[in-house]
Amino acid sequence: MFGNPIEQSKSPIIHSMFAQQCGIKLSYTKRLAPVDDFSSSANEFFEQSNAIGANVTMPFKHAAMTWVDKLSKQAGRAGAVNTIIRRNNKFIGDNTDGIGLVADLIQHEVELNEAKVLLIGAGGAAKGAVPALIEAGVRSVEIYNRSIDKAELLVAAVDKYANKKASLYQADVNQYDLIINATSLSLHGQIPDLPASIFTQQPAIYDMVYQSSATAFMVEAKKQACNTLVDGLGMLVNQAAESFYLWFDVRPDTNAVLEYLRRAY
């Protein structure tokens, strides 16, 4: 896995557990790539003929798009690559973040068909989420972000493949079935600058951040009488499972790994 910083990543543990389950001999290591030179690190790693794939995390998800030979539909729509797969000595860039999110929402029995979604954030994680949500059948995605220009760019990008499915957050509407916090605010114990009226319909709440206790956003939503509150650990494990599937054509059991991580952290 390439990233910078990288030491915090749980991916090596997750993939070694998947490999053990599936009887696959796997070496999955962290690589601290220089912030301005993803290419050299990727070239060096893939010089090894047995290097069959890699994950890419911040800040290289965009740089990886130009390094690979071909993009999957998901990666093209998300504008980011988090998984590289070697096929016939060509490199395919894919994005499993959105699939991981949707898989976790489904595991938590959150209804996505025709759902009205408020997505908070317009960074890499938000961009990965939108194509998968649309594919899962949501009715609409309203996007709110501190920097409005980035939210506008995301809406315009979505319009290219799903005309008018996404729009900017409108302060006076506020009827949501699902709210997804795709900002890093919860890492700092902070919540987005939005009115309590977003919780009026008691939507399901998903915070992409994960930690040992409920995140600040989940705590706030609970105060506002929301009952379905999910953090991002399941997304992390499910996006890893999808990467594993792309490399090995085997679907690992995510529940055992999730249970282990919940106990261990």
What is the rounded distance in angstroms from the CA atom of residue 259 to the CA atom of residue 127?
Answer: 28
Find, among 154, 108, 111, 158, the residue nearest to 136 by Cα: 111
Q: What is the CA radius of gyration of the chain?
A: 18
What is the rounded distance in angstroms from the CA atom of residue 91 to the CA atom of residue 68?
Answer: 5
Q: Tell me: does residue 184 bind ligand NDP (CB under 6 A).
A: yes
Residue in 31, 62, 150, 222 binding ligand NDP, rule: CB under 6 A: 150
Q: Tell me: does residue 185 bind ligand NDP (CB under 6 A).
A: yes
82 and 56 in contact (C-beta within 8 Å)? yes
Q: Tell me: does residue 87 bind ligand NDP (CB under 6 A).
A: no
99 and 112 in contact (C-beta within 8 Å)? no
174 and 200 in contact (C-beta within 8 Å)? yes
| Stretch near ligand NDP under the rule CB under 6 A, chosen from 38-46, 135-143, 168-176, 206-214 | 206-214
Among residues 58 and 214, whose Cβ is nearest to ligand NDP?
58
Among residues 24 and 194, whose Cβ is nearest to ligand NDP?
194
Which residue minimizes CB distance to ligand NDP?
123
Q: How far is the CB of 124 from ligand NDP (least distance, A)?
A: 4
- Of 10, 25, 30, 61, the catalytic one is 61
Structure tokens that stand for 249 in this block:
């054509």
Q: How far is the CB of 116 from ligand NDP (least distance, A)?
A: 20
Residues between 35 and 64 with contacts to ligand NDP, criterion CB under 6 A: 58
61 is catalytic: yes
Q: Tell me: does residue 166 bind ligand NDP (CB under 6 A).
A: no
Q: Tell me: does residue 9 bind ligand NDP (CB under 6 A).
A: no
Beta bridge partners of 116: 140
Find, among 218, 202, 222, 221, the residue nearest to 210 by Cα: 218
Q: Tell me: does residue 187 bind ligand NDP (CB under 6 A).
A: yes
Q: Tell me: does residue 131 bind ligand NDP (CB under 6 A).
A: no
Q: How far is the CB of 101 from ligand NDP (least distance, A)?
A: 7
- Determine the size of the site formed for ligand NDP (CB under 6 A): 25
Omega before residue 59 within 30° of 0, cis: yes
Residues between 246 and 265 with contacts to ligand NDP, criterion CB under 6 A: none
Burial 215-249 (b: 16+ CB within 10 A, else e): bbbbebbeeeebeebbbbbbbbbbbbbbbbbbbbe
Q: How far is the CB of 243 from ligand NDP (least distance, A)?
A: 11
Residue in 11, 72, 183, 243 binding ligand NDP, rule: CB under 6 A: 183
Task: Return all residues near 225 (Cβ < 8 A) that are at least 6 apart.
Answer: 199, 202
Residue in this structure with the two tokens 């493949």, named with its chain if needed: 161
Catalytic residues: 61
Residues making contact with ligand NDP (CB under 6 A): 58, 97, 100, 121-126, 145-147, 150, 182-185, 187, 208-210, 232, 235-236, 239
